[in-house]
Chains A and B, each alone.
Chain A
Amino acid sequence: MKHLIKLTSIITALVLITSCSPGGMSGEKSGPGSKKGAAEKVYVAPGEYDEYYGFLSGGFSGQLYAYGFPSARLLKIIPVFSQDPQTGYGYTEESKPMLETSYGFIPWDDLHHPDISQTNGELDGRWVFVNANNTPRIARVDLRDFNTAEIIEIPNSAGNHSSAFITENTEYVVAGTRFGVPIPQRDMPIQDYKGNFKASLTFLSVDQKTGQMDIAFQIRMPGFNYDLSHPGRDKSHGWFFFTTYNTEEAFTLLEVNASQQDKDFVAAVNWKKAEEYIKEGKGVVEKTRYAHNIYDEKTHTTTHTIKDKVTVLDASNLPGLVYLIPSAKSPHGCDVDPTGEYIISNGKLSSNLVVHSYSKIMNAIEKELYEGEAYGIPILKFEETIAGIVEQPGIGPLHTEFDNKGHAYTTFFVSSEVVKWKVETRQIIDRQPAYYSPGHLCIPGGNSRKPDGKYLLVMNKITKDRYLPVGPELNQAGQLFDITGEKMELLLDFPMIGEPHYAGMIHADKVKDRTLQIYDLDENKHPGVAKGPDNVRVERKGNNVHVYMTMIRSHFNPDNIEGVKVGDKVYFHVTNIEQDYDIPHGFAMMGARNSEMLIVPGKTETLVWEPQAEGVYPFYCTDFCSALHQEMQGYVRVSPANSNVKLTWGLNHENYE
């Protein structure tokens, strides 16, 4: 209770302090209904579709969430880095390899930044790429079936934060390093960090037909914290920009020690130059270990392999590869406007927005207007790179997105607001409070040449009093604004899942007609498939019992199995032989120390059950599939280990002795 009082007074003090800052948490509530017509703008009539798909990061839930906008209706949870008992992802034999890493099986991660694939700088709706921050990985979600198709681990990295952003033809997915580490990993004193800990900026190539990723090369960098990144586009295509903090290379109490210098850097990487160096054989092949997991759409199975080599380019020794641009203190977001000319560095601790000019950066590079170097990498003169500075537009700028009319929209964490300003003139046009403490924001097509300035989604970090209280932990608040007018108008306020870090929004027309409705049973090449009553069977191989089972409305075949013994490992290979849209069946086995599996039409999946005691145990369909769903069940008889009960199986006494 004492703690509670203490906490309450701290919070009260905090609220008092912040409410003094411009546009801060005023405490007065505003929301849909406060302005006339807001409800109509987000109303999607029953049976009608939303105009946009939004792919929201699920943060520490490890998953990606597909929403419809403007209604903010949750359409699907896409399991990526965390096990999902609802579908069986990460529990079935087919999907478990997707969560394998060089450290072994990991059931969770922290999913940050979704980025939708592009062609010619426009979103094309083929794939969404996302990053795991904790154990560095990049995943590719296929938008034909909204499933995770591939996960690749990023070696020589830690805190995979400035990821997974793509170049404008999806040539590369880029992954950075937030936490410098010894490369290769080795036992050494932490206090020897400076100069010895390193970072990697990793470029993953993408096969344009299959989407399959591969590590093309890594750029070895000084051990700064690479926070966020965005690709150059149009005129600046060929470059990639990363914000950095902790250029002090502190390793303890970073809160203070990484905030000593007045400026940190934007690292500008010339990846076309990197390609040249690779061609010239300047890359050094280093031994390492990382996992590469690929889903096969014919066998419905993920294959996990460990790879052991990576090609490295050392930024300190290869001129023209990387330039450091001094920027606002400890910048967070690194955002490039639709024309590719302006690179916005959101100065988290300086409160200034520094607008760098691509043309000026090129000029400074050409004329070698350097003010020094760090680890052999040239540092450009600050004033030679900037188009201008938005002075004190708010407190704690984090991220900026753009519309198609030359405006930028920036979130301010501390002053809890979103500010609209004109990119060319850096003039502030509007500011609206956000509830509370916004982080990322998203405009449809935001990270591309062609944003669609219709809606703005603000993803807040703190919820407080926005919804009915549900105890101490609250879901993060999302707020949707209409940005078609001069002033931003708050339309909708809705709770999100996990902590969304960034989102990708795309017009539904680019995705919806390409989605699959079923998996073709003819093309099912799963080794455990049973396509009909002629194939169903139960086989014993030592202590392993393999059940090849089918499911269709509304029965399993077989639904009676006898001859299983205590100590056996039973593999249920279950095929949904329906070929109709949206008729999945579930499979759940009593006492299985596992999840259910939800099997969609045409697919085969495998659940393992290790019966521990003799008895007769039911299994059943978990997804209400027809009027006879409650009848969709079966039994497995488990006999003692030394029993002579013959292995038999059947349905309605067929095949049964």
Chain B
Amino acid sequence: MKKFVLLLLAAFIMFGCASNSEKGKPPKFKAPKIAKTEEQEPVYDKVDGVAVDMNNKGIGPVKSVTIPETIDMALAKEGEGIYNALCLACHRPTQKFIGPAPKGVLERRSPEWVMNMIINPEKMVAEDPIAKKLLIEYNGSPMANQGVTEEKARAILEYFRTL
């Protein structure tokens, strides 16, 4: 299983190179740094017991998110409203329920990963290594696609920063 995760990581890195070259930069081939990753001891998060990988941005439309220093409280408030309507049934803010609690999630997952998980859950639980582990950890309970737009997912993310 570990080997599989590494392979996926390798594939991810390779994919990253490919998309760089698409941006018009001269194609520079970089050997995948498999050796280096092998050396690292995986860190497991204390909440769900899943390996932390802050470089994993997940699978979905969100490629890059910039998070300013200060929390946008208006945006967070909007996010809280959306979260309460669409997510709260399964995710209690501070405790494990049907699914994981979002408190402190940005310390163990990248913001892109969080947003892609919200927007694109079916593909994430099928293909993303972290999401796949979480699905097993949470008894195979599927993450419902609640039809959240990128804009709304960003507001939810801001709300998570306040928890």
Tell whether A pairs with B.
yes
Chain A interfacial positions (CB closer than 8 Å to B) = 518, 521-522, 531-534, 550, 552-555, 557, 577-580, 583, 626-628, 652
Q: Nearest 10 A-B pairs (CB), nearest first?
A: A579-B147, A580-B145, A579-B146, A627-B140, A552-B89, A532-B88, A626-B142, A532-B84, A553-B144, A531-B85
**Does B139 have its Cβ within 8 Å of any Cβ on chain A?**
yes
Neighbouring B residues of A579 by C-beta, 8 Å: 86, 144-148
A312 to chain B, nearest CB (A): 50
B151 to chain A, nearest CB (A): 14
**Does B90 have its Cβ within 8 Å of any Cβ on chain A?**
yes
10 additional contacts (CB under 8 A) given A577-B89, A627-B141: A531-B84, A531-B85, A533-B88, A533-B89, A552-B89, A552-B144, A580-B146, A628-B139, A628-B141, A652-B97
Interface positions, chain B 71-113, Cβ under 8 Å from A, are 84-86, 88-90, 97-98
A603 to chain B, nearest CB (A): 14
Question: Interface size (B, Cβ < 8 Å)?
Answer: 17
Closest to B97 in A: A652
Of the candidates B88, B89, B139, the one having the most CB atoms from chain A within 10 angstroms of its own CB is: B89
Known A555-B98, A580-B145, A580-B146; judge A628-B88 contact (CB<8 A). no
Question: Are B86 and A577 in contact (CB-based, < 8 A)?
Answer: yes
User: How far, in whole Å, are A518 and B142 apart by their CA atoms in the complex?
Assistant: 19
Interface positions, chain B 106-163, Cβ under 8 Å from A, are 139-142, 144-148
Q: Which of B90, B140, B148 contacts A552 (CB 8 A)?
A: B90
Question: Are A583 and B84 in contact (CB-based, < 8 A)?
Answer: no
Closest to B92 in A: A533
Question: Are A578 and B146 in contact (CB-based, < 8 A)?
Answer: yes
Question: Are B86 and A521 in contact (CB-based, < 8 A)?
Answer: yes
Question: Are B88 and A578 in contact (CB-based, < 8 A)?
Answer: no
Closest to B139 in A: A628
Known A579-B147, A652-B97; judge A534-B88 contact (CB<8 A). yes
User: How far, in whole Å, are A652 and B95 apart by their CA atoms in the complex?
Assistant: 12
Closest to B121 in A: A580
Neighbouring B residues of A522 by C-beta, 8 Å: 85
CB<8 Å pairs between A and B, sample of 12? A531-B84, A533-B88, A552-B89, A552-B90, A553-B141, A554-B141, A555-B89, A557-B89, A579-B147, A580-B147, A626-B141, A627-B142
User: How far, in whole Å, are A354 and B27 apart by their CA atoms in the complex?
Assistant: 79
User: How far, in whole Å, are A550 and B97 apart by their CA atoms in the complex?
Assistant: 16
A633 to chain B, nearest CB (A): 15
User: How far, in whole Å, are A532 and B80 apart by their CA atoms in the complex?
Assistant: 12
Neighbouring A residues of B98 by C-beta, 8 Å: 555
Neighbouring A residues of B89 by C-beta, 8 Å: 532-533, 550, 552, 555, 557, 577
User: How far, in whole Å, are A598 and B128 apart by their CA atoms in the complex?
Assistant: 33
Question: Are A518 and B147 in contact (CB-based, < 8 A)?
Answer: yes
Closest to B88 in A: A532
User: How far, in whole Å, are A510 and B146 apart by their CA atoms in the complex?
Assistant: 28
Neighbouring A residues of B144 by C-beta, 8 Å: 552-553, 578-580, 583
**Chain A contact residues, majority secondary structure:** loop
Neighbouring A residues of B146 by C-beta, 8 Å: 578-580
Neighbouring A residues of B85 by C-beta, 8 Å: 521-522, 531-532, 577
Closest to A578 in B: B144
User: How far, in whole Å, are A277 and B84 apart by their CA atoms in the complex?
Assistant: 58
User: How far, in whole Å, are A554 and B90 apart by their CA atoms in the complex?
Assistant: 9
B139 to chain A, nearest CB (A): 7
Closest to A627 in B: B140
Question: Are A553 and B142 in contact (CB-based, < 8 A)?
Answer: yes
Neighbouring B residues of A533 by C-beta, 8 Å: 88-89
User: How far, in whole Å, are A577 and B144 apart by their CA atoms in the complex?
Assistant: 10
Question: Are B147 and A628 in contact (CB-based, < 8 A)?
Answer: no
Closest to B84 in A: A532
User: How far, in whole Å, are A532 and B148 apart by their CA atoms in the complex?
Assistant: 16
Q: Which of A534, A554, A578, A652 contacts B84 (CB 8 A)?
A: A534
B91 to chain A, nearest CB (A): 10
User: How far, in whole Å, are A533 and B87 apart by their CA atoms in the complex?
Assistant: 10
Neighbouring B residues of A531 by C-beta, 8 Å: 84-85
Closest to B140 in A: A627
Neighbouring B residues of A554 by C-beta, 8 Å: 141
User: How far, in whole Å, are A358 and B140 apart by their CA atoms in the complex?
Assistant: 68
A129 to chain B, nearest CB (A): 32
User: How far, in whole Å, are A518 and B147 apart by their CA atoms in the complex?
Assistant: 10
Neighbouring A residues of B140 by C-beta, 8 Å: 627-628
Neighbouring B residues of A534 by C-beta, 8 Å: 84, 88
Neighbouring A residues of B141 by C-beta, 8 Å: 553-554, 626-628
Of the candidates B97, B145, B147, B148, the one having the most CB atoms from chain A within 10 angstroms of its own CB is: B147
User: How far, in whole Å, are A532 and B84 apart by their CA atoms in the complex?
Assistant: 6
User: How far, in whole Å, are A557 and B91 apart by their CA atoms in the complex?
Assistant: 13
A535 to chain B, nearest CB (A): 9
Closest to A521 in B: B85
B123 to chain A, nearest CB (A): 13
Neighbouring B residues of A580 by C-beta, 8 Å: 144-147
User: How far, in whole Å, are A628 and B144 apart by their CA atoms in the complex?
Assistant: 13
Neighbouring B residues of A521 by C-beta, 8 Å: 85-86
B74 to chain A, nearest CB (A): 19
A116 to chain B, nearest CB (A): 30
Interface positions, chain B 29-55, Cβ under 8 Å from A, are none
Neighbouring B residues of A518 by C-beta, 8 Å: 147
User: How far, in whole Å, are A259 and B26 apart by their CA atoms in the complex?
Assistant: 91
User: How far, in whole Å, are A235 and B26 apart by their CA atoms in the complex?
Assistant: 69
User: How far, in whole Å, are A552 and B139 apart by their CA atoms in the complex?
Assistant: 16
User: How far, in whole Å, are A132 and B163 apart by their CA atoms in the complex?
Assistant: 58
A521 to chain B, nearest CB (A): 6
Closest to A580 in B: B145
Neighbouring A residues of B88 by C-beta, 8 Å: 532-534
User: How far, in whole Å, are A534 and B142 apart by their CA atoms in the complex?
Assistant: 22
Closest to B82 in A: A522
A158 to chain B, nearest CB (A): 48
User: How far, in whole Å, are A550 and B139 apart by their CA atoms in the complex?
Assistant: 21
User: How far, in whole Å, are A577 and B82 apart by their CA atoms in the complex?
Assistant: 12
User: How far, in whole Å, are A550 and B146 apart by their CA atoms in the complex?
Assistant: 14
Neighbouring A residues of B147 by C-beta, 8 Å: 518, 579-580
User: How far, in whole Å, are A20 and B146 apart by their CA atoms in the complex?
Assistant: 65
User: How far, in whole Å, are A532 and B86 apart by their CA atoms in the complex?
Assistant: 8
B94 to chain A, nearest CB (A): 13
Neighbouring B residues of A628 by C-beta, 8 Å: 139-141
B25 to chain A, nearest CB (A): 39
User: How far, in whole Å, are A550 and B84 apart by their CA atoms in the complex?
Assistant: 13
User: How far, in whole Å, are A626 and B135 apart by their CA atoms in the complex?
Assistant: 13
Neighbouring A residues of B148 by C-beta, 8 Å: 579
User: How far, in whole Å, are A214 and B158 apart by their CA atoms in the complex?
Assistant: 51
User: How far, in whole Å, are A281 and B142 apart by their CA atoms in the complex?
Assistant: 65
Neighbouring B residues of A557 by C-beta, 8 Å: 89
B88 to chain A, nearest CB (A): 5
A575 to chain B, nearest CB (A): 10
User: How far, in whole Å, are A52 and B139 apart by their CA atoms in the complex?
Assistant: 42
